[in-house]
Structure 1
Amino acid sequence: MSIRNLESLFAPRCVAVFGASDRAHSVGATVWRNLARGFQGELWAVNPRQPDLGVPVARDLDELPVAPDLAVICTPAATVPGLIARLGARGTRAAVVVTAGLSAAQKQAMLDAARRHTVRILGPNCIGMLVPHLGLNASFAHADARPGQIAFLSQSGALVTAVLDWANDRGIGFSHFVSLGDGADVDFGDLLDYLGSDARTRAILMYVESISAPRKFMSAARAAARNKPVILVKSGRSAQGSRAAASHTGALAGADDVFDAAISRAGMLRVNTLHQLFLAVELLARFRDNRSERLLVLTNGGGAGVMAADAAAHMGVELATLSPEAIAQLDAVLPGNWSRSNPVDIIGDAPATRYVDALRVLRTADRDSAILFIQAPTAIVPSETIAEALLPLVTERPPRVLGCWLGHGAVEPARARFRAAGVPDFPTPEEAVRAFSFLRQYHRHQAELLETPPALPEGLTPDLGGIRRIVQEALQAGRQWLTEPQAKALLACAGVPVTPIRTVPADPDAAAAAADALGYPVVLKILSEDITHKSDVGGVRLDLHDAQEVREAARAMLQRVTERRPHARIEGLTVQPMVRRRHAHELIVGASIDPLFGPVILFGQGGTAVEVLADRALALPPLNVTLAEALIERTRVARLLRGYRDVPPAHRPSIHRTLLAVSQLLADVPEIAEIDINPLIVDAEGAIALDARVRVSADCPAGARHFAIRPYPQELVQTLDWHGTPLTVRPIRPEDEAQHLAFLEKMDPEDIRLRIFYSRRSIEHSELARLTQIDYDREMAFIATRPTPDGGQETIGVVRGICDPDNDTAEYGILVRSDLKGRGLGRLLMQRLIDYLRAHGTRRIVGTVLRENQAMLALVQRLGFQIRPHPEDPDLRCVELPLQPSQ
């Protein structure tokens, strides 16, 4: 149900506590006391015993004057389903079920009752939730939370109280503090949708143990992460133990790595501990706008500088190199024995003016690096005096300086001054560097949401008919694993270059004849569906140069395999050319199915030692070129692929094509269960698959409907004739950014003002990215394009519908190129959006139109929209079209 009725949960006007009690230390007594202490709305207690709470206590729901907006339930498990049913019928729309111990049947009965009346349930088996700015503490936590701008969400009740205690001790405040408990109804996806657009919430922190409804979670997370930092800790990072796998991909694609890939794709940040969670939010809250990749360190102690440098090396943070000009400027203000490098050690006897002079030089000499300021207290000058002197510099915008005051009592006044001025402060150099590394990682994840992918590789048009024939042939034969010839044929149909392969009986002479036909040198392999890894049983021979070598290798191979795997069925031998490529890299590209997030793509360093090297990264499909490149860059082998010494850079586009081909296979062929291309040989000339394994399943675990992120809806592309011109109406793509900008630049400013209520034509890249990189699960933008004389396409119109998370209402917007108005394009696009939203299940489409925009009002009236005055602005009109039959 997403955000429906969550206002009743988090902003109730009246609250009733069922099971309110006067029994010391009971849950009902604690919840009542917490609410009575601070909630400013109406508060009622319900308990058939009518305990002495100092206020009237109702014996039953029927005695309440009205239905409460929010019910907090602390009654026995058996009473919960019936109580939810009665509350829903009475008009209550939200409940916090603190009660634990509901059986599976009771929990289902509770959910069935809630759904009949759209009652939202937090819990059961939860501590509850706090909304500090309302004084709302609907929990049995031991303390109230301070008001603030951070939301904390947790599946662990114990961590809720521990973090609350920790935060109160450090003066950290919250907008919302929520224990999800069992998460039977309200889950992380719902809360991300609600808090992502909540004006009081500046950042969202989460402790996650598991995710339900991964597609909803990913959609909500991507939407929330565009608006504010979303940072999480997830338990279960350690390996679950090795598992037998029939392919390298299956062995390497661990569940926690898949979760990391999902977090990266959603633009969120994952940290390892709760302490790091607050380190990260401290920096993102105060330093989010800093985009530096490098760090300068300014310190009055050499040891502290070394600690910072060591931490930077360990965490992959680059320390900036001082320019000769910067060194000269520092020479002029520092004593002769300063460090003359980064870290900049200004010596322990430094007066306040030396700190100021050095920091001023660093700020002006290197404007691209962040500055970590470290000070250890001395008897020369109080730390507070240094802080006071530095405040004009450290508060300049954009933010450049991180603070680290080493010590406790002696530096506490200085630390307080920095914090009061909005400067992020950390107790140790290591924590400061780690927080900076989180910031860099966060910005890189955000960049994946905003980068504009280049055009898709040309010619990537898979032969789906050929692929389906190969898959069905294997399934009809009762086999899961394709033979190597079948796997290579499938990849070739998908657009992946493969080596030619000949299949022959298990006969040395037949193998030699095939080798003669292919040309030497060749590779000989055993062919058996019972043998997963051929090299492990001596089933591969490389670099055979003549027929005699092939015969001898075949005889020895057949004997060796028979001895080592006597029960394996030998179907024959395969012969293929020996690929010799100087400076080639062995890579692995694979795909598997994660139980939670569905299809996953793997890339890394390949070869026979692939599990030992374990140099791999994972990504969720669908991929485009930009996301494929980001996947490559998350591996160590990426550095080798850039070239080194006399080795030229590898041909990246060929790797991109392979990754995109695998992504498309997963979308188009639901029967794909696993792909293993190892090795994929890549050099400066291109890529070619030398070996491949593909597993298929009649259960259809792949396919676009199992993707955690909805792929491009190709089925919605339409081509039609428009005034004698071919017109394509299709969903917008990330690759359309440049074309979309050209479209907007051709618009008359007055037309933009009438449609979007502002007149500027220039638009930032980040805004264009948000217009073109949409989540097709909750938004749709159809563009109309026509051919240009140079053979390209130009956008001439766009219509957009943005659905709320409940898919109840979609707000529309439309633009048609100014010189093409009056030719029916607007009506065509509006009708396409209406048809799509109706089929999508959206209940109604709405819009806001300027009163003076008579052309738009006339158009929507012809389409059946209802038009009425705006309740707050006489210059506006509200328009609405019901899309579904009345219930």
Structure 2
Amino acid sequence: MSFRYLQSLFNPQSIAVIGASSRPRRIGNVVMHNLLAGGFGGAIMPVNPKHDAVAGVLTYPNVAALPRTPDLAIICTPPAAVPGVIDQLGQRGTRAAIVMASQLSTTLGSDGRPLDVTILEAARRYGLRILGGRTLGVMVPQAGLNATFSQVSVKRGNIGFVSQSDAVGTMVLDWALPKKVGFSHFVSLGDALDIGFGEAIDFLGSDPGTRAILLYIESIRDRRGFMAAARSAARNKPVVAIKAGRAPRNSLQGIGDPLFLDTPGLIGSDDVHDAVLRRAGILRVDHLDELFGAVETVVRSRPMNGNRLVVVSNGGGAGIMAEDGLHLGGYEMPDLHENTVTRLRRMLPAGWDGRNPIDISVDAPPKRYEDVLKVLGEQQDGDAILLMHTPNALSSSIDIAQSVIQTIRNVGGNLLTCWIGDESVATERKLFVDSGIATFDTPGHATRAFLHMLNHRLAREVLMQVPPSMQLDFEPDADRARAIVHTALSEGRTRLTEPEAKAILAAYGIPVVETHLAANPQEVAAVAARIGLPVSVTVMSRDVRRKWEVGGVALNLETPDAAEAAAQGMLGRISALRPEARISGFAVQRVDPRQHVRQLIIGVATDPLFGPMIVFGEGGRALEVYRHMAIGLPPLNLPLAHDLIDRSHTAALLGAYHNHPAADRDAIALTLTKVSQLVVDLPEITELDINPLFANDMGVIAADAHIELSASAPNPHRLSIRPYPQGLEETTTLRDGRSAVLRPIRPEDEPTHYVFMSRLTPQDILYRFFHYIGTLPHSEMARLTQIDYDREMAFIASARDQNGQAETLGVVRAVADPDNHTAEFSIIIRSDMKGQGLGSKLLTKIIDYARQRDIQVLAGEVLAENQPMLKLLRVFGFSAKPAEEPGVVHVSMKLQQPVSP
């Protein structure tokens, strides 16, 4: 169902209230009064066959009697009446409806089916978008739209807020009103029967009046829609979220049981959500009061290039409190440069220790604040400055505030202020707010704000990584690995043997400890003598997953007799503890003689909703004690792999200490990317763990490995983030002999896309956008160049100009609906490149791609006067008919036959 119909929800010109009521405290009554009180400028048409008027507005007996088709319908009827109303609205051509009724999934209709199923079928039949059920509704203050039954109105602003809970939504609106926090949009998703987080975020992400997006999330159902929309929006504006349901047994977890590798409960669903939000570029906070504070900070602050914070205070206690707060948040303050210390000593009282935080003394006058800020601005010791002031009788707080505001205007840079107190410094804080400077009332709030800035920067860095579908300079033997997987599945096995698992790792360039098989204890002794001592022995059994627990592992065996005795002992213990277990033999390995090794784990677990997850942490037996893993979403590149390492508690163990040299982090990161590539290439793998992975200064080696397979057909959309599809790149020759590359668009194409747009003629722009536009804002350009390669694809034709610089010649784009049935396409070619065959080449490219994605219909709209494009589309087999909008032709093609222009 088309995204453009959301305009009818958020910017309607006419509204019908189905079930409008004159009875107080009824939803239909409150909605009518809110619409009228909000100042909505369009038509409001209440529908109620039992009343002549509601709230002083003439009513209509039913939908068919309405004098015009409403853009938006607000349905306030009991659940049983909703399906019939949706059908009537669909017949009238209404494009959006808000369904207030609850319990739609548990209430059965006359046909015995749940009402939500019937409602959604009817809505899709007519292309009608639904918000709800169990929704509070929608507010758009700048449009005077209050389509809710909330008792709280909102102030106009630039924050978009999307809540999954009507209760939390009301709570936030009530909290924001006295604090004068304004909203561009408020959206209560309710049950998200149709419109969910993806659609709401998509709309707010492209809305120029929305500077930041806030989310209250209980559960995520549409992974593809959510990830695509969130990543697109977060590239352009701050997105901050609360994800409720962190407790392990909380009913809001919403994505199935905790995941596990070799240890049950190792990964909880909240860990997964944390990784998902981070990879989506979303800043996650824990409490409602953080929600708006975080947005204020990231909106008011400038983008940081690093993570250095310099703290300045007029009292040592405040500085120490700030340092403690940062330390508890995992951040250590940087030292000041020697030259900075030298310059500051000339202006600070004697006895200053030269440390960060900088204590400028309780009696510091405005001039000292000004001088210190100038020095820090010139020396560039920090990427941000936190300036704290404790009011006292020795200085004027307001004079200092005014001096600071003027100085930072001249100096520039990121400044956070903290005027400690409440009403006594309210005027000073208002000065900072009016000047666009973030300000806070306690050191704790201020340091937490900086950590939000830092985490937001890191999230954006992660977001902007677009890993290729194949790692560069890495050629795995994927055919060998696939043969092992297919052999196991053909034999009815879903668990690979250890040698098979290690063979797959070796095929992907991961060093492994060679494993030798022995059928019985006597063979164990013979193998040990042959390969060299000391050895380790592990029992082989498909029925025993955690071999440590049954005494099935023995290490550092110094003689063949000791190896044989260890194997014999395993047989006895397992027979007593697990008599049903079938033992197929023993794995014998020579103990790796490496020194200073760390035992790590790299694993893969599959979440029911978000798909494969890459897991990293401390391995060996410590895994069962500490159970702290860092989680990332494939695909990974080296920067993302290093980020995964940095987020783990294990990162501290990899550095040098005492006589232990630092482990080779680059080798660990490379191994993570290889495991990620393995996951991308082998969709049958649902679970993998390398434990332990030995790592030291010489590199890494896998000592043990386990792989689980799925016997069912692989899900082609199992990855939450689709890698940049390098395989879709191709080189073509234009009619003038120039070489051009047809490839998917990338985020880094934004600068050349501006140049491309500047070289389009007014007619080109009219034919593409249906109206004349000037320079596109960054928000819109980011949306065009930063796509998810899943539901949306854009191919550009790129070539080198006379100076050897890349330039964009044309672009074709297709956006699939949520059901992957129909994709809306558009195409534009630079006027000076027409006649080169680019239109045909790009159309062929997008049609072939849509077929590969199993899209059934490719459709679009073309201005009737754009006859060259209509002629080209007819050659390709598109059918044409008049669209709803005058002067527009709707074109479509069923993708069932090979294209032959």
User: Please, what TM-score do these two structures have when normalized by structure 1?
Assistant: 0.86
Aligned twin of 1:872: none
Candidates 79, 82, 104, aligned match of 2:81: 79
Aligned twin of 2:66: 64
**1:636-715 matched pairs, under 5 angstroms:** 636-644=649-657, 646-700=659-713, 703-713=715-725
Deviations 1:767-811 (A, max 9, x none): 99995886343123367899xxxxxx9999876433346464333
Residue 755 of structure 1: CA displacement?
9.1
Equivalent AA in structure 1 for residue 90 of structure 2: G
Aligned twin of 1:360: 374
> Is the 1:704–1:710 contact (alpha carbons within 8 Å) kept by the matching residues of 2?
no
Candidates 78, 99, 106, aligned match of 1:97: 99
The CA distance in 1 between the partners of 2:877 and 2:207, in whole Å, is 34
Aligned twin of 1:8: 8
**1:547-626 matched pairs, under 5 angstroms:** 547-626=560-639
Residue 575 of structure 1: CA displacement?
1.3
Aligned twin of 2:154: 145
The CA distance in 1 between the partners of 2:757 and 2:75, in whole Å, is 54
State whether structure 2 residue 215 is matched by structure 1 residue 206: yes
Q: 1:728 to 1:500 in 2, by over 3 A?
A: farther
Deviations 1:472-523 (A, max 9, x none): 44445544322222322333334432222222212x2211222233233322
The CA distance in 1 between the partners of 2:128 and 2:100, in whole Å, is 15
> Is the 2:877–2:893 contact (alpha carbons within 8 Å) kept by the matching residues of 1?
no
Equivalent AA in structure 2 for residue 380 of structure 1: L
Segment drifting more, 483-492 vs 28-37: 483-492
> Is the 1:290–1:398 contact (alpha carbons within 8 Å) kept by the matching residues of 2?
no
The CA distance in 1 between the partners of 2:733 and 2:236, in whole Å, is 40
State whether structure 2 residue 413 is matched by structure 1 residue 402: no
Q: 1:816 to 1:650 in 2, by over 3 A?
A: farther
Deviations 1:518-544 (A, max 9, x none): 233322111111221222222112223
The CA distance in 1 between the partners of 2:831 and 2:599, in whole Å, is 50
> Is the 2:132–2:193 contact (alpha carbons within 8 Å) kept by the matching residues of 1?
yes
State whether structure 2 residue 407 is matched by structure 1 residue 393: yes
Equivalent AA in structure 2 for residue 801 of structure 1: V
Residue 469 of structure 1: CA displacement?
4.1
The CA distance in 1 between the partners of 2:518 and 2:807, in whole Å, is 57
The CA distance in 2 between the partners of 1:586 and 1:66, in whole Å, is 71
The CA distance in 2 between the partners of 1:705 and 1:677, in whole Å, is 25
Q: 1:652 to 1:678 in 2, by over 3 A?
A: same
State whether structure 2 residue 324 is matched by structure 1 residue 310: yes
Aligned twin of 1:873: none
Match of 2:241, SS state, is strand
Residue 878 of structure 1: CA displacement?
11
Deviations 1:267-300 (A, max 9, x none): 1111111111111101011014344412122222
The CA distance in 1 between the partners of 2:732 and 2:59, in whole Å, is 69
Q: 1:755 to 1:652 in 2, by over 3 A?
A: farther
Aligned twin of 1:18: 18
Residue 683 of structure 1: CA displacement?
2.5
Q: 1:197 to 1:637 in 2, by over 3 A?
A: same
Q: 1:565 to 1:396 in 2, by over 3 A?
A: farther
User: Please, what TM-score do these two structures have when normalized by structure 2?
Assistant: 0.85
Equivalent AA in structure 1 for residue 617 of structure 2: G
> Is the 1:120–1:185 contact (alpha carbons within 8 Å) kept by the matching residues of 2?
yes
The CA distance in 2 between the partners of 1:584 and 1:485, in whole Å, is 23
Residue 346 of structure 1: CA displacement?
2.2
The CA distance in 2 between the partners of 1:744 and 1:127, in whole Å, is 43
The CA distance in 2 between the partners of 1:769 and 1:184, in whole Å, is 26
Segment drifting more, 92-101 vs 48-57: 48-57
Residue 459 of structure 1: CA displacement?
4.0
Aligned twin of 2:118: 109
The CA distance in 2 between the partners of 1:547 and 1:419, in whole Å, is 76
Q: 1:781 to 1:650 in 2, by over 3 A?
A: farther
Q: 1:501 to 1:170 in 2, by over 3 A?
A: same
The CA distance in 2 between the partners of 1:769 and 1:164, in whole Å, is 29
Match of 1:499, SS state, is coil
Residue 856 of structure 1: CA displacement?
11
Equivalent AA in structure 1 for residue 146 of structure 2: N
The CA distance in 2 between the partners of 1:717 and 1:670, in whole Å, is 23
Aligned twin of 1:753: 759
**1:506-585 matched pairs, under 5 angstroms:** 506=520, 508-585=521-598
Candidates 498, 505, 509, aligned match of 1:491: 505
Segment drifting more, 148-157 vs 540-549: 540-549
**1:319-338 matched pairs, under 5 angstroms:** 319-338=333-352
The CA distance in 2 between the partners of 1:744 and 1:152, in whole Å, is 33
Residue 237 of structure 1: CA displacement?
1.5
Aligned twin of 1:761: none
> Is the 2:862–2:891 contact (alpha carbons within 8 Å) kept by the matching residues of 1?
no
Equivalent AA in structure 1 for residue 497 of structure 2: T
Aligned twin of 1:186: 195
The CA distance in 2 between the partners of 1:301 and 1:384, in whole Å, is 17
Residue 256 of structure 1: CA displacement?
1.1
The CA distance in 1 between the partners of 2:681 and 2:18, in whole Å, is 52
Match of 2:16, SS state, is strand
State whether structure 2 residue 393 is matched by structure 1 residue 379: yes
The CA distance in 2 between the partners of 1:340 and 1:308, in whole Å, is 17
> Is the 2:131–2:194 contact (alpha carbons within 8 Å) kept by the matching residues of 1?
yes
The CA distance in 2 between the partners of 1:772 and 1:192, in whole Å, is 15
**Number of residue-to-residue matches in the alignment:** 850
The CA distance in 1 between the partners of 2:154 and 2:491, in whole Å, is 63
Q: 1:461 to 1:771 in 2, by over 3 A?
A: farther
Segment drifting more, 50-59 vs 825-834: 825-834
Equivalent AA in structure 1 for residue 157 of structure 2: G
Q: 1:14 to 1:697 in 2, by over 3 A?
A: same
Segment drifting more, 516-525 vs 152-161: 516-525
> Is the 1:395–1:421 contact (alpha carbons within 8 Å) kept by the matching residues of 2?
no
Residue 637 of structure 1: CA displacement?
2.2
Residue 733 of structure 1: CA displacement?
8.6
Deviations 1:23-66 (A, max 9, x none): 22222221111111122221122222216522322232233211
The CA distance in 2 between the partners of 1:35 and 1:769, in whole Å, is 32
Deviations 1:617-642 (A, max 9, x none): 11112222332222222213234435
Aligned twin of 2:771: none
The CA distance in 2 between the partners of 1:453 and 1:61, in whole Å, is 51
The CA distance in 1 between the partners of 2:20 and 2:247, in whole Å, is 42
Candidates 263, 266, 288, aligned match of 2:277: 263
Residue 306 of structure 1: CA displacement?
1.3
Residue 862 of structure 1: CA displacement?
8.3
**1:760-775 matched pairs, under 5 angstroms:** 775=789
Deviations 1:79-130 (A, max 9, x none): 1110111011112111111122322611111111111111111111111111
Q: 1:288 to 1:369 in 2, by over 3 A?
A: closer
The CA distance in 2 between the partners of 1:837 and 1:130, in whole Å, is 37
Structure 2 segments unaligned to the other structure (5+ residues): 109-113, 251-255, 766-777, 881-886, 897-901
Q: 1:670 to 1:95 in 2, by over 3 A?
A: same
Residue 718 of structure 1: CA displacement?
6.2
Q: 1:289 to 1:458 in 2, by over 3 A?
A: closer
State whether structure 2 residue 443 is matched by structure 1 residue 429: yes
Match of 1:622, SS state, is coil
The CA distance in 2 between the partners of 1:306 and 1:491, in whole Å, is 50
Residue 835 of structure 1: CA displacement?
3.3
Aligned twin of 1:460: 475
Match of 1:588, SS state, is strand
Aligned twin of 1:49: 50
Match of 2:3, SS state, is coil
